[in-house]
Chains A and B, each alone.
Chain A
Amino acid sequence: MWEKTMCGENMTHANAKREISGADQTKLAMQLGATEVSDRPVTWSDLAGRIEPDRSPTLEAAGATIRTELAERLDGEVLERERDRLAARIERLPEVRETGVPNEPHGCYEAVADPGWRLYEHLAEGEFFERLDETLPRFTPGHIERTARELVLTTPLSAALDDVGFDESEKTALLIAVANDADRLARWVPSNQIPDGVEFDTETVPPLHRRAMGGALLWIRGLDRHLWQNEVLVTEEVLDAAVAHTKTMLGGLFLSATAACDIATTGRLTDEQVTAAFAAGTAVQIVGQEELLHEVFYVTDETRAPSKLR
Chain B
Amino acid sequence: MRRLVVPFVVLLTAAGALTTACGGDSAPAGTVRLLTHDSFFISDDARAAFTAATGLRLEVRRAGDAGSMVNQAVLTAGNPVADVLYGVDTTFLSRSLDADLFLPYQSPLLAGLYPGLAADPQHRVTPVDFGDVCLNYDKAAFATIPPPQTLADLADPAYRGLLVVQDPSTSSPGLAFLLATIATFGEEGPYTWKNYWADLRANDVRVAAGWEEAYYGAFSGGAGEGDRPIVVSYASSPPAEVIYADPPVGEAPTAVVTDGCFRQVEFAGILRGTRNESAARALLDFLLSERFQEEVPLTMFVFPALASVELPPEFVAHTRVPTAPLTMDPARIEANRDRWIAEWASIVLR
A and B from one complex: no
Query: B residues bordering A, Cβ < 8 Å?
Result: none
